[in-house]
Amino acid sequence: MMLTLVHGLFKILKGEGEKCHGRSYAAPRFGFSVHSSHGTAKNCGFTLIEMLVVLLIMGLLVGLVSAVAQPDDRAKLRVEAERLAQLMDIATTQSRLTGKPIAWTADGQSYRFWQFNEDPGWSEITDDEYLRARILPKGMTISNMKVENTRSPEHMRVEFNAYGSVLSFSVEMSLGDAHCTVASSPIGEVRVLPEERRTNDKLAFP
């Protein structure tokens, strides 16, 4: 029942009808097969990208509930920080599945994703519903970035390598007096740090 509900939620997000049969993906699928009365099987599994997108939706819903209950700068900032963390996780997974590096760049009030191809090299991702360019809400900024605990130069950039480890990084977002940090863990996961873990500018993971 829960699996069917999640699958339906993803289809609603994508604006799709019942297209379980006949869909093809290059990515591996996780799920089940449904046998019809004619003995044929329909593959109704999920790709890893689809599963990550569902987690993104669930995380944003939790953040939106908090923002509605407490409509302050901290709650609004948390929603955008959770979105960024989940999108970076999607970029990491997509890079590994396609074998092509993906980069993230920011200019303060917006950010975008790039993909590397042999020709013409780095190009902005414009045809992906999730990794498209995004502009932060008014007053919200990406105020600081560190790579390997070293302050990043003027141009904020992170690369997600398809075959190697990603350097640890942290991205600080701010809105008014509220601050939030998105950071990569030692095993490559990207998460929003709890407020109590942001002490003395040092990153701490469970």
**What is d(CA 52, CA 67) in angstroms, rounded to the nearest whole number?**
22
Domains annotated for the chain, with CATH where assigned, are 48-197 (3.55.40.10)
pLDDT value for 16: 45
* Pairing relationship of beta strands 156-160 and 102-106 according to DSSP bridges: antiparallel
What pTM does this model have? Answer: 0.64
Q: What is the pLDDT of residues 51-79, one digit of tens each?
A: 777 766 676 666 666 555 556 888 889 99
Residues 131-183: tens digit of each pLDDT: 999 999 999 999 899 988 777 666 799 998 887 667 889 999 999 999 999 99
**Of the segments 31-40, 104-113, 189-198, which one has the largest average pLDDT value?**
104-113
SS3 per-residue string spanning the chain: CHHHHHHHHHHHHHCCCCCCCCCCCCCCEECCEEECCCCCEEECCEEHHHHHHHHHHHHHHHHHHHHHHCCCHHHHHHHHHHHHHHHHHHHHHHHHHHCCCEEEEECCCEEEEEEEECCCEEEECCCCCCCCCEECCCCEEEEEEEECCEECCCCEEEEECCCCCCCCEEEEEEECCEEEEEEECCCCCEEECCHHHCECCECCCC
- Cα radius of gyration (the chain): 19
Q: Which residue has the higher pLDDT, 12 or 141?
A: 141
The reported pLDDT for the residue numbered 6 is 46
Separation between Cα atoms, residue 25 and residue 23, nearest integer Å: 7
pLDDT of residue 44: 55
Higher confidence at residue 200 or residue 111? 111
| Residue 20 contacts residue 50 (beta carbons within 8 Å) | no
Nearest-angstrom CA–CA distance, 62 and 57? 9
**Which pair of structure tokens corresponds to residue 44?**
């109704």
